[in-house]
Structure 1
Amino acid sequence: MMHPLNCACPDCDLLLSLPAGSSRRQRYCPRCNASLGSGRGSFPALASTALAGLILFFPAVTLPLMRFTLAGQSDNNSVWEGIADLWQQGFPLLAVTVMVCSLLAPLVQLLVCFSIACCVQLSRFPAYYPSLLKIANTAKHWSMLEVYAIGILVAYVKMMGDGDVTILSGCYCLAAVMVCAILSEQLFDNDHAWAAWQQGKAP
């Protein structure tokens, strides 16, 4: 006997019960009309990608991104120092926004994706597992590391005409973290994660 399939809306987290044997690809959430189509994620690949992003995250935000040299004077800055400079220059709201979207949200996204992948692979689901799934869906909307990377690219192009600009190791680490965050989002299969939790709870 086939049991109804429980899943969660990827946008509003509404818990739904679909008829047995039905396909999620042609179904939509009754509350927000989001597609319930199932992805094709791979949790072993998700765990590896998220772990790589976590390893590179600290050097990405602490190492200098670029060195700008003009008239014999040079200066460089990291992501964290840039946020601190915004705060000190009287832009606390902008500093907090950049910190949340460029530091906290990507870090939470990588941490939660790694935790979920490990839970699924080990078939061990703690009581807070549903909360992890909801946090994962929320963090991806706030993670805007690619916007910060575009800002760096624009600054690089503008400064090239005024002096010498050298790309440093922090910029490469930041680019790698951005790729890991994007891949983690693509590899994360929300439906599969919920289904694994449902099967793990079944007697």
Structure 2
Amino acid sequence: MKCIVGLGNPGRKYNKTRHNIGFMVIDELLNRHHWKLDKTKFKGDYALENFSGEKLILLQPQTYMNLSGESIRQVMDYYDVDLEDVLVIYDDLDLPTGKIRLRQKGGHGGHNGVRSTIDHLGTKEFKRIRLGVGRPASPIPVVDYVLGTFPKAEKEDVERSIGHAADACESWLAGKAFLEVMNDYNN
């Protein structure tokens, strides 16, 4: 069983913000396959589906970003998901808007959702897809920036990065080794 987690904040007011781009990738996968997040438990909304003969959990933690790891840990424990079968998707200030970067491990880079995930999983070694949201050009506090929406000028880049991240997820789910998926999508 594989588990793909999109990090974000619950509630309408955060719906299309930079910090919720992980949720947007999950939404893209749901839309492509006509799936629904029809279960609410483990401090999250999730779907149990099948893809290429593989059981799959799609998860959007509802704990708010800073406590995301709580939901991930509970789902992993309940469904007995191995760490190697978890993929976490989130926003990254250090990548330009529209860029994605896949990694097999790493630190939190100041991202509180990733910090919580590391704390609750007890390791930095989990698969991840980082989607660039860029840094604020003006002296806007980072919190205000990530909780803001993307300007219209970035819409095409954002949609493309969400699509590429969803493609990468599907490639991994179809059985391609994550290292190969990294090579395909990090170029």
Q: Indicate whether the TM-score tops 0.5.
A: no
Q: TM-score, normalised by structure 1?
A: 0.25
Which structure is higher in helix share?
1
Q: TM-score, normalised by structure 2?
A: 0.26
